[in-house]
Structure 1
Amino acid sequence: MSDEADGGRQWAAQPGFWRQVVEQLGASLVVVGPSGRVVAANPAAERLLSRSAEAMAGKDFHDLVHRHADRERPGIRCRLLEALIHAGEAHADSDRYLCGDGKLVEVSWSAAPVTDGASFEGTAMLFARLSDDRSERAEHMQALEDLTGRLTLVAQITAVLGQTLETDEALARLGRMLVPGLADWVAVDLLVGDDETHRVAVTGPDGRDRGQEGWRARLPFAGESRSPLVQAVRGAVPVLDEDAGAPARPDSPLAALHSGFLQSVGAASALTVPLGSGRHSTGALTLVRTDPAAPFGNDDLQVVVDIGRRVGQVLDNTRRFGRQRDVAEAMQRNLLAPLPQPGRLLLAARYQPAPAASQVGGDWYDAFQLKDGVTALVIGDVVGHDLTAAAGMAQLRGILRSLAWDRTEPPGAIVDRLDDAMPAITTVPMATLVLARVEGPRDGPWTLRWTNAGHPPPLLLTPNGHGRYLDDARGPLLGARTGTGTGDRRPDATTPLPSGSTLLLYTDGLIELRGADLDTGLSRLRRNALALAEEPLDDFCDQLLTRMPPGNVDDIALLALRLPPP
């Protein structure tokens, strides 16, 4: 049997929209997949066609049922076939379907595409025996339009919310999709721990959030209250309140908050459903309509129950992601060593995790004093963005410190030995880094000696208002060399460090943005750094990160050195 048929049976077997709404329709409904094969059929369709849903599943719907009066299959100019192939809306007032008992039955039918955002998921076929009662046919047409709209809304909410792992953004998207399409006001309450609820989002017409502070109270959870909100938060039952604006005597602070909200927005009817399913509820979703002539009904309730179940799953994922990200960021920061303050030289560093990352990464910085009193500076990036990359970063940092501690040799020689040792004693496949020595007496003058293993170049800002990238001493990435010998030695370079100058080492997250070339990122960084060059070093680092345009998807590590003025 086809995968399409299996998928249809799984959908039909799920509690929620299909079983609670579609199976109750008096009209016959068959859902056909993109290839024209039946994926699901409701009981009314089974009765009309004298065929079971199981027997129809996976069969080509057109070939199975569509016939002329002489029982021949219609040709290629068939309206039904065109509707199924071209995913368009269509209808016929009179046609013939072949039943399982061999009889032909005259039907009227309507076809409407079911989409998941921009993706075509199939076609909903609604049909009925021909009747002289034209109002009955009109009702069937309206039923199909309503049903298709609800199916599409549920699918779109699932798709759109699945694109973010940020709770606030997920709730903002939910509000924009439900208002004004399905409701005039939407409120979301989340269960905090076991004994508190927090109203975290309220969306109204045109995105208004009237009375925000009063509506977003954090209140004790009264589990025995009879309030619809409390019942939904408990995961017990969804509630359709057909007289939502009527004054009520609240039996808990939470019930008072909810009743006050409904009266304040002028609610005519309201739906309150659990976020999640069964006993696993993370909160409640409330939808409000203010027009007494268009109240919510039982069909709306079943749709919103399904939406609440799906939103609950998304919020579970975003909360889990948030906890993972907090732990990951703490781990990353603990792996980065505190900075020394060598004499009159000032050092500052920052680490900023990727906006959408859930795990630690391989960006790192380091600064330490060597045995000969020289200050060593390191910035690096291990390939990957996961726990393996973070572990590799810690390994490289420890090995590099050991190799550099008691050596007065050039940085390039030290990095060569790190490159030779890396395959044998680390899990790192490839990495970039800059290793530099700040050489000179305590009061200057100072010289920078460095080597660059495939990393973005350091930026030197001088007191005369100039900024230049130190593009010299570029060698291959760690892990990229194919041989050894004198010809493969890494280059070194030196440059004087004027008094009052600032040296910036950074990872590529500070200069790379999707859709922009590297030169644009380097120019932007140089421009921002020059504008901030007179700021205290900590402010310099903080404002560099603040000036990053939106769109960054990578970690950022930066290390800044400020030399004292003359």
Structure 2
Amino acid sequence: MTRSWRIDGVTDAARARIAVARLAAAYGVPTVERARLTAALSGHLRQCLTKGGTWVLTLEGPGSPAGTSDLHAVVAPVPGAGAAGRAPWTVTVPCAATGEVPGEDTVTDDPAGLSEALLGADEDTAVVLAQLTEQEELVAFHREELHQTNQGVVVLHAELDAAGRAQQAAFAAERRAREEAEKARHRLTFLADASAALNASLNHDEIVRRLPELLVPRYAESVDVWLFDHDDDRHRPAAHSGAAVLAARTGRPQYAADHPGGLPGVDDRPPSALAPERPLLCVPLPARRTPLGVLTLSPPGERWDPDDAVMLIELARRAGTAMDNARRFEHNRDIAETLQRALLTELPTTPGLSLAARYLPATHGLNIGGDWYDAFRQRDGSLITVIGDVTGHGLHAAVMMSQLRTALRAYAVDGGGPGRLLTRLHGYLRHLQPDLFATAVIARFHPDEHTLTWAAAGHPPPVLRLPDGRVRILDAKPGAMLGIPLRQDIADHTERLTPGSTLALYTDGLVERRALGIDPGIERLAQALGTYGSAALDADLEESADRILHPLLSDSEREDDVCLLLCHLHG
């Protein structure tokens, strides 16, 4: 085993010292030797921090390439980091373990982990001091034995018996202290794991569901969650105990039972009329402004240990914070989705041409981004369809998407082909936001002749389904991404259309997967589009759009927004 820590400051030094102490304990280093190791390491690290520069602490133990059976620590300067040329410091201590000792040496900023490390260091110091005290008592005992030799064998036996009883009492006290320390460690571990489980979800109902799963049966026989403003009747018991109502009004934990609870920070109340035979602990679920509800627990045995009650109150506080965060996230997500859909266009009705569009937000984050689609007529009666994607996510990308869409409509009033419109958008974006980029495809359908004129700028190519079922990917040379620091004139491309043809415009969120790239996704879209006949597309283009999307999105969660615009020329 060989592990290293880079030390740039006092925080890195403290974490490295904690990690070394844990690994030394895991490898069975005796307590005194471990205390000497950590004390010497702390002193040298303080000297290193005083000298300045960057240092590396390397720890080699059994199982390392060096093949040593001891624990070997080396503190050496990092070349070129302000501490070069200084001699490394080494120390070696014996190990009881000879193989690879599993364990995590990463020290986080979690208060529970740092507190446990501090308690562990104090335990080692206490053991060393206890051994020193024991040695001093032993020396004093021998001196007294020599001094009292003339007092006779009876007095000597009496003193030995007294010393034996004192030692037994010390062992019993030490055993009780170890048991209490182990219980405290279990509580801290449970609190840390439960907090991580609650904060891992941003779904309010999921957090409420997890609370009973975490607490039953270890710390509670039953768990009731009373939420004040929840619409789901599953979380509303038919009646609430008086202690729960009082906890809701005062914001203080209440203990309802036929005996005093003696729990820190908890008010004692008479037994509940709803369940007089069992004690109830009612803890408010706090939030930033007002309490969210009350958590009512019944003990797994006759009553709670006071330390367990303190831990449960702290868990309720963290659960309330997690639920409040989830509610805020869900509220912001709903606002974002409403804003995104408000920015999208209602498709026009065009004789002989059907349009169907789908927008699906990503399944992560606030679900607002820069994907958009649009369709409108020009003065000459032709229909412009466009689909695009502004880089990034969030409100800024959505605002820029809206500005680009408005600018495109303004440019289209003056006429011009898709390539000319994209070229003007490119210049507009460079002038408006030099650090923002976008991709787009514009397709124009002519009213009197069955032709399609299209142009692309850094966007995935359109997919054209012919009436006979064949599918073509229109991958003629596109322009570069809009907004790049480069002057460009984007060219038009023209295709002859026959009745029954269908054009698919889309964004990369539909076809791109991180592990596969974009080309396989485009092929899958072409295959899905080719499976439909012209009659089905003529009959219901909206249903066809849903059926095309389903196999393309069923493989994974969406990490990006998805836009799809289908344009079908009636047969």
Q: Please point out which of 547, 554, 559 is paired with 2:560.
A: 554
Task: Give the corresponding residue for 2:290.
Answer: 280
Task: Give the corresponding residue for 2:245.
Answer: 230
Task: Give the corresponding residue for 2:423.
Answer: 416
> Would the aligned equivalents of 1:361 and 1:385 in 2 still touch at CA under 8 Å?
yes
Q: Label 1:530 to 1:318 Cα distance change in 2 as closer, same or farther (>3 A).
A: farther
Task: Give the corresponding residue for 2:267.
Answer: none
Offset at residue 153 of structure 1 (A): 1.9
Q: Does 1:541 align with 2:545?
A: yes
Task: Give the corresponding residue for 2:325.
Answer: 317
Question: Match for 1:168: what amino acid?
Answer: D
> Is the partner of 1:515 in helix, strand or coil?
coil
Offset at residue 304 of structure 1 (A): 1.4
Distance 1:497 1:274 in 2: 68
Of stretches 166-175 and 306-315 in structure 1, the one that deviates more from structure 2 is 166-175
Offset at residue 150 of structure 1 (A): 1.6
Q: Label 1:83 to 1:400 Cα distance change in 2 as closer, same or farther (>3 A).
A: closer
> Would the aligned equivalents of 1:511 and 1:518 in 2 still touch at CA under 8 Å?
yes
> Would the aligned equivalents of 2:252 and 2:283 in 1 still touch at CA under 8 Å?
yes
> Is the partner of 2:94 in helix, strand or coil?
coil
> Is the partner of 1:477 in helix, strand or coil?
coil
Output one character per residue of 1:364-396: Cα deviation in whole Å (capped at 9) or x when no partner: 111000111110011011111122111111111
Distance 1:421 1:232 in 2: 60
Offset at residue 497 of structure 1 (A): 3.1
RMSD: 4.3
Distance 2:236 2:205 in 1: 17
Q: Please point out which of 330, 333, 344 is paired with 1:336.
A: 344
> Would the aligned equivalents of 1:235 and 1:278 in 2 still touch at CA under 8 Å?
no
Task: Give the corresponding residue for 1:453.
Answer: 457
Question: Match for 1:170: what amino acid?
Answer: I
Offset at residue 440 of structure 1 (A): 3.8
Output one character per residue of 1:383-431: Cα deviation in whole Å (capped at 9) or x when no partner: 1112211111111111111112231x33112211221222224577100
Task: Give the corresponding residue for 1:351.
Answer: 359
> Would the aligned equivalents of 1:473 and 1:493 in 2 still touch at CA under 8 Å?
no
> Is the partner of 2:286 in helix, strand or coil?
strand
Distance 1:524 1:169 in 2: 35
Output one character per residue of 1:288-324: Cα deviation in whole Å (capped at 9) or x when no partner: 55x547x543322211111111111111111111111
Task: Give the corresponding residue for 1:403.
Answer: 411
Task: Give the corresponding residue for 1:367.
Answer: 375
Task: Give the corresponding residue for 2:517.
Answer: 517
Offset at residue 167 of structure 1 (A): 1.8
Distance 1:554 1:561 in 2: 23
Question: Match for 1:146: what amino acid?
Answer: K
Structure 1 residue ranges without an equivalent (≥5): 8-31, 38-58, 65-73, 107-128, 201-212, 245-257
Q: Please point out which of 189, 192, 199 is paired with 1:162.
A: 199
1:66-215 pair list within 5 angstroms: 76-77=93-94, 96-98=127-129, 104=133, 131-132=168-169, 134-183=171-220, 185-192=222-229, 215=234
Offset at residue 340 of structure 1 (A): 0.8
Offset at residue 156 of structure 1 (A): 2.1
> Would the aligned equivalents of 2:382 and 2:446 in 1 still touch at CA under 8 Å?
yes
> Is the partner of 1:558 in helix, strand or coil?
strand
Offset at residue 537 of structure 1 (A): 1.8
Q: Does 1:376 align with 2:384?
A: yes
TM-score normalised per structure 2: 0.65
1:211-222 pair list within 5 angstroms: 215-217=234-236
Distance 2:367 2:318 in 1: 25
> Would the aligned equivalents of 1:372 and 1:406 in 2 still touch at CA under 8 Å?
no
Task: Give the corresponding residue for 1:124.
Answer: none
Task: Give the corresponding residue for 1:41.
Answer: none
> Is the partner of 1:274 in helix, strand or coil?
strand
Q: Label 1:379 to 1:279 Cα distance change in 2 as closer, same or farther (>3 A).
A: closer
Of stretches 178-187 and 89-98 in structure 1, the one that deviates more from structure 2 is 89-98
Q: Label 1:493 to 1:511 Cα distance change in 2 as closer, same or farther (>3 A).
A: same
Q: Please point out which of 445, 448, 458 is paired with 1:438.
A: 445
Question: Match for 1:328: what amino acid?
Answer: A
Task: Give the corresponding residue for 1:498.
Answer: 498
Output one character per residue of 1:224-274: Cα deviation in whole Å (capped at 9) or x when no partner: x75333334446222445689xxxxxxxxxxxxx998x89xxx96654322
> Would the aligned equivalents of 1:191 and 1:233 in 2 still touch at CA under 8 Å?
no
Larger radius of gyration: 2
Report percent identity of matched pairs.
Answer: 34
Output one character per residue of 1:176-198: Cα deviation in whole Å (capped at 9) or x when no partner: 44445544544433221xxxx55
Q: Label 1:230 to 1:510 Cα distance change in 2 as closer, same or farther (>3 A).
A: farther
> Would the aligned equivalents of 1:422 and 1:428 in 2 still touch at CA under 8 Å?
no
1:286-297 pair list within 5 angstroms: 286-288=296-298, 292=301, 296-297=304-305
Output one character per residue of 1:21-76: Cα deviation in whole Å (capped at 9) or x when no partner: xxxxxxxxxxx944659xxxxxxxxxxxxxxxxxxxxx959979xxxxxxxxx972
> Is the partner of 1:349 in helix, strand or coil?
strand
Q: Label 1:406 to 1:75 Cα distance change in 2 as closer, same or farther (>3 A).
A: closer
> Is the partner of 1:504 in helix, strand or coil?
strand
Offset at residue 435 of structure 1 (A): 0.8
Task: Give the corresponding residue for 2:61.
Answer: none
> Is the partner of 1:380 in helix, strand or coil?
strand
Distance 2:439 2:202 in 1: 30
Structure 2 residue ranges without an equivalent (≥5): 1-8, 23-37, 44-90, 107-115, 136-165, 260-271
Q: Label 1:143 to 1:347 Cα distance change in 2 as closer, same or farther (>3 A).
A: same
Offset at residue 216 of structure 1 (A): 3.8
Distance 1:338 1:502 in 2: 20
Structure with the largest fraction of helix: 2
Structure with the largest fraction of strand: 1
Q: Label 1:384 to 1:141 Cα distance change in 2 as closer, same or farther (>3 A).
A: same
